[in-house]
Amino acid sequence: MLRAMYSGISGLKNFQSKLDVVGNNIANVNTFGYKKGRVTFKDLVSQQVGSASSGNGTTTGGINPKEVGLGGTMATVDNVYNQGAMQNTGRALDVGISGEGFFVTIVNGQAQYTRAGNFYTDNQGNLVTGDGTYLLGTGGKPAANLAAPNLLGNIPNITQADVAAGSTTYGKIQIPTDARSLSIGKDGQVSYVDAAGNLQTAGYIVTANFANNAGLSKIGANNFLQSQNSGAPQIGAAGGNGRGELVSGALEMSNVDLSEEFTEMIVAQRGFQANTRIITTSDEILQELVNLKR
């Protein structure tokens, strides 16, 4: 009976973890660029009460092993990177990624990656995220994959000289205060009309993709970090080398499906209840055994 009781306890822990993940998904149903989580389980060790036998091939046949399972445990908590729906906003600085890839930002010299494309300009005209972190770009359109950024201290601005030279050195994309008709192309080109009415390029927004997106680490605020199992980032222009194209005037919504999450919540609730029944039934049988002494 104790084996059944402890198996039920392991089931309670598993379904509580599942409810935690489902609750977090529902809480982020309206978070731009959010990627939902998923829990999978696996069984624990099994106690062998009878070994297998092949038989002698003439008078007796083989016998299967007899094993009693000792419960289950959590196997993985996956991040599901399916594309979220695009919501049209009509705002030029709202940018979604259609396909693979992440925007690249710099926080305290460390590269971070995000799918949330609601960008803004600071008091100097630099493109920033909602947290004030700088969005990285280059002066020219990168023709090949670039190395991961290693920027400490002051991050340089992309100048018109960088744009003219087609420089692929990382920098901040700066929009002049007198700029008009700002637009962002599918390949990340940030264009504007200057005070003289001339079309200018402020730089190119770069994006990154990874060999294993599921290996990225979530660090909150819609940001991800490279991990040992994600592979090195392949950074370059949007739309090239497997990276998705940019969609200006739209934002990628969360890929959480409420109908699916509510169904998973019901499954977790019923699974939790079923495991409590295992514990209470085992307790009742133990009580009967105790009563045998009377």
- pLDDT of 143 above 90: no
Low-confidence winner among 61-75, 118-132, 179-193 (lowest mean pLDDT): 61-75
Low-confidence winner among 104-108, 112-116, 199-203 (lowest mean pLDDT): 104-108
Mean pLDDT of 113-122: 95
Top mean pLDDT of 31-35, 47-51, 287-291 is at: 31-35
What span, in angstroms and rounded, lies between the C-alpha atoms of 201 and 162? 10
Cα 261 to chain centroid, rounded: 17
Q: Identity (one letter) of the amino acid at 184?
A: I
Please check whether residue 32 is in contact with residue 252, taking contact to mean a CB–CB distance below 8 angstroms. yes
Q: Identity (one letter) of the amino acid at 171?
A: G
Mean pLDDT of 16-45: 95
- pLDDT of 294 above 70: no
- pLDDT of 263 above 70: yes
* E strand or H helix at 268: helix 258-291
Q: List the end-to-end C-alpha distance of the chain, in Å, as a whole number.
A: 20
> Tell me, what's the pLDDT at 47?
86
Confidence of residue 80 (pLDDT cuts 50, 70, 90): very high
Return the number of other C-beta atoms located less than 10 Å from residue 256's C-beta.
22
Confidence of residue 1 (pLDDT cuts 50, 70, 90): low
> Tell me, what's the pLDDT at 288?
87
**What predicted TM-score, i.e. pTM, was given to this entire model?**
0.88
Residue with tokens 């009415």: 197
- pLDDT of 293 above 80: no
